[in-house]
Amino acid sequence: MDDSGAPTAARGGGIEARRPGRARVLRTIRQHTQVARVDIARETGISPATVTAITADLLSEGLIERISPDAGERPKTSRGRPREALKIRGAAHLVAGVKVSQGAITVLLVDFEGRELGTQEIPRAERRSSAAALVDQIALAVDRACHAIGLDPARVSAVGVGLAGYVDGLRGLVHWSSALTERNVPLADLLSQRVHYAVFIDNDANLVATAEHLFGRGQALRTFLVVTIQHGIGLGVVIDGQLYRGARGCGAEFGHTKVAPGDGAACQCGQRGCLEAYTSEYALLRQAEEVGAGTFTDMAALQEAAAQGDAGIADLLSAAGEYFSMGLANLINIFDPELIILAFEAAGNHPLCQPEIVEAVHSKVVQVDVAPPEIVVHNWGDRMWAKGAAAYGIERLTHLLVEDLGAP
């Protein structure tokens, strides 16, 4: 039988017999630098005959390529002809990952194999834009990134875009984002009408989780959480190896869980009492000004003031840490993950990523006779977000290519 459950001989190795296994075969090849067909069959459970037919399709479409074995590297005990290996063909497609933040648009260009080719950061003149203006900014940023490394933008096959907010990635819809002045924006459709390549969008925290799953600390894990700390607070959830989105496509909004009843602090989402209204950069800078501590431009300035003995600022940061540790403890009690990754974009240390915060979290979780999950800090900066967007672009483009392969 092949992987679809039907006898291979009866199906004749035809298009329908091969269709269900293509994504699995391609994914297995991508996980290896190079891999032989017999090893693909063993890892996927797909019959060798079907693997041969599927890889023939992928070779024909130029998505993978053969690697000629070096007979000189074979063990002396081996007999016969060396096994031919296969790998992803990097030149097959050019993909861009785009991270939209309030201060800049970061673009990372990768080939189909995932190799980084170049990066570019384009400052944004305004922190929030209309949908039309943001579409123009993204298109221009991708073009500039290509020109910067001598590539024709016409070669771009797909773009993954990440931005903060309530984003339904599967529908390409932004319900709300701090980067936009409008709500319920069909951003993927608007950008698709402006450019020639496929466009995929998602919440930026989801894309950090995707990057960690493919390239980072989550590679060997089945269930882990990524908490992003930037202008706001985000969450990416991977359960049983799959990104969790929720029924409406915009679940896991950790920063907008409520931590204060009644008339709590105002959040940029329009509600009150949200976690990020007490812990995010914009909230802490606002609070510092409200208590008369002065005007600060970033978290580093707040930390410096606290280190210099400003008791008011120290109290603000301490309260933020308490709110944040409670939130993380709640995540552990709900999801029981293998690992929590704290990802932030600023250089240096972040006040919410200090050892005492981790200790406070562990004191608040349900105590059982098993150690609590590890909490680690991974500071990749905006490049991390862009790399996640590029990985997402590769994944979604691969899905389209596999679905179209052999279609009438």
Largest CA distance in the chain: 80
Mean predicted confidence (pLDDT) in 259-285: 89
The yes-or-no answer to whether 92-209+384-404 and 219-380 have a common fold is yes
Residues 6+ apart with CB under 8 A from 10: none
Which H or E run contains 4?
A: none
Residue 355, judged by CB atoms within 10 A of its CB (0-12, 13-18, 19+), counts as exposed
pLDDT at 332: 95
Domain ranges of the chain: 8-88, 92-209+384-404, 219-380
pLDDT at 57: 92
Q: Which fold has domain 219-380?
A: Nucleotidyltransferase; domain 5 (3.30.420)
What mean pLDDT value characterizes the chain?
86
Q: What is the pTM of this model?
A: 0.79
Instruction: Write out pLDDT tens, residues 37-70.
Output: 999 999 999 999 999 999 999 999 999 999 876 5
Confidence of residue 18 (pLDDT cuts 50, 70, 90): low
Q: Which CATH architecture describes the domain 8-88?
A: Orthogonal Bundle (1.10)
User: At residue 80, does pLDDT exceed 90?
Assistant: no
The answer to whether 114 touches 95, Cβ cutoff 8 Å, is: no
pLDDT at 8: 34
Confidence of residue 125 (pLDDT cuts 50, 70, 90): confident
User: At residue 79, does pLDDT exceed 60?
Assistant: no
Lowest mean pLDDT among 246-255, 259-268, 354-363: 246-255
Q: What is the CATH number of domain 92-209+384-404?
A: 3.30.420.40
pLDDT at 19: 64
How many angstroms separate the CA atoms of 45 and 24, rounded?
10
pLDDT at 76: 45
User: At residue 405, does pLDDT exceed 90?
Assistant: no
| Phi-psi region at 363: left, alpha or beta (left = phi > 0; alpha = psi -120 to 50) | alpha
Instruction: Write out pLDDT tens, residues 225-239.
Output: 999 887 789 999 999
Confidence of residue 81 (pLDDT cuts 50, 70, 90): low
Lowest mean pLDDT among 73-87, 273-287, 354-368: 73-87
Confidence of residue 408 (pLDDT cuts 50, 70, 90): very low
Confidence of residue 144 (pLDDT cuts 50, 70, 90): very high
* Residue closest to 300 by CA, chosen among 344, 355, 266, 235: 344
